[in-house]
């Protein structure tokens, strides 16, 4: 497989080849986690929902086809209402992450840059140029920020992860094209866990890889398939405060959940457009109440779920879940 053309979304690069993928195993697994559909957020102006982030009480959604950043209110008084977004300086936005100060880091796949925005959408900083040298990108697809301010970038066509300091200065890189531990084959997303480890969605190796903050290989899990713990393009991921790893299993149309060591904990979803179904999910994020937001790419929407506190994890881990979970009646349906 050669370099994938950047004139098309990374989310759709193998669409034709996999359109007829069977979702039988995904359907069997959909009830194992105890995930409950709570709401749907959508708007006619959203053409593709790829990346997600939450800044305060605002849900931010990247829309590569429109070159837009959409924003939706999460305030209880107007939950789900579309707010003003922005597009200035953006070419093809992909995955993104908000830091602890509420600033938004965005991987711009087409301009080969990482963009940093303030809460109001004003550009604070950008770094990166096209190329394969240190500090340059060839279609950056994902970005994450560590507690120390380190910025990690999934450098898609260069088959590597790059690390920068808080000012965007190059620190190190690791990985090369390949299939062995520590190699990558079109990485699409990156996340930092609560223990500081770096989790990478190694999309077309159909696995998740884990590294220390300075790039030392720790472990990996996954292979191509539709069984439990297998992936058909691991396109996006997020790690919650308990260290559970949520993975968007794109062409299996489901979300899978693992512990930090790669033990399978559960999954939900199947192909479709009804509530709780997905068409190529691409990203996950969480709010402070424990709700889970999923970018439902092919359906151009975001779906919201809660998880029963007894659903996943060991007895000790389950005890750390909030005592209450939002209910369907308290949220209502967010149709726009």
Question: For 274-292, what is each residue's pLDDT tens digit?
Answer: 999 999 999 999 999 999 9
Encode pLDDT of 181-202 as tens digits: 999 999 999 999 999 999 999 9
| Selection from 268, 265, 254, 324 nearest residue 291 by Cα | 324
pLDDT at 142 over 50: yes
For residue 11, what pLDDT band results from cuts at 50, 70 and 90? very low
pLDDT at 333 over 70: no
What is the pLDDT averaged over residues 7-28?
33
% of the chain exceeding 90 in pLDDT: 79
Report residue 251 CA to chain centroid gap. Answer: 15
Residue partners of 104: CB distance under 8 A and separation at least 6: 53, 55, 60, 69, 96, 97, 98, 116, 117, 118, 119
Q: What are phi and psi of 202, to 5 degrees?
A: -85, 80
Tokens standing for residue 79: 């939950």
For residue 308, what pLDDT band results from cuts at 50, 70 and 90? low
Supply the pLDDT for residue 18: 29
- Taking the alpha carbons at both ends of the chain, their separation in whole angstroms is 40
**Rounded distance, CA 51 to CA 115, Å?**
14
Q: What are phi and psi of 12, to 5 degrees?
A: -115, 15
Supply the pLDDT for residue 226: 98
For residue 313, the SS3 value is coil
**Rounded distance, CA 264 to CA 127, Å?**
37
Tokens standing for residue 60: 């931010």
What is the pLDDT averaged over residues 254-280?
97
């Amino acid at each position: 497989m050669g370099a994938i053309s950047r004139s098309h979304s990374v989310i759709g690069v193998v669409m034709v080849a996999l359109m007829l993928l069977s979702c039988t195993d995904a359907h069997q697994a959909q009830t194992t986690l105890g995930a409950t559909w709570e709401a749907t957020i959508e708007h006619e102006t959203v053409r593709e929902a790829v990346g997600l982030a939450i800044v305060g009480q605002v849900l931010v959604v990247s829309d590569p086809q429109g070159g837009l950043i959409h924003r939706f209110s999460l305030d209880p008084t107007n939950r789900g209402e579309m707010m003003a977004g922005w597009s200035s300086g953006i070419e093809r936005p992909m995955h993104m992450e908000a830091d602890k100060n509420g600033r938004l880091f965005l991987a711009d796949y087409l301009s080969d840059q990482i963009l940093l925005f303030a809460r109001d959408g004003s550009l604070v900083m950008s770094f990166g140029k096209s190329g394969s040298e240190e500090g340059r990108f060839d279609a950056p697809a994902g970005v994450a920020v560590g507690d120390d301010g380190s910025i990690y970038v999934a450098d898609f066509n260069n088959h590597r992860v790059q690390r920068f300091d808080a000012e965007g200065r190059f620190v190190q890189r690791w990985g090369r094209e390949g299939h062995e531990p520590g190699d990558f084959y079109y990485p699409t997303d990156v996340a930092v866990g609560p223990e500081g480890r770096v989790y990478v969605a190694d999309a077309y190796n159909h696995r998740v890889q884990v590294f220390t903050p300075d790039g030392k290989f720790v472990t990996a899990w996954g292979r191509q398939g539709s069984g439990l713990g297998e992936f058909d393009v691991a396109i996006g991921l997020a790690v919650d405060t308990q260290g559970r790893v949520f993975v968007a299993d794109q062409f299996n149309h489901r979300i899978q959940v693992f512990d930090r060591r790669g033990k399978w904990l559960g999954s939900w979803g199947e192909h479709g457009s009804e509530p709780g179904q997905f068409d190529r999910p691409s990203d996950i994020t969480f709010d402070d109440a424990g709700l889970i937001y999923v970018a439902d790419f092919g359906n151009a929407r975001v779906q919201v779920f809660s998880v029963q506190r007894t659903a996943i994890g060991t007895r000790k881990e389950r005890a750390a879940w909030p005592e209450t979970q939002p209910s369907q009646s308290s949220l209502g349906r967010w149709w726009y």
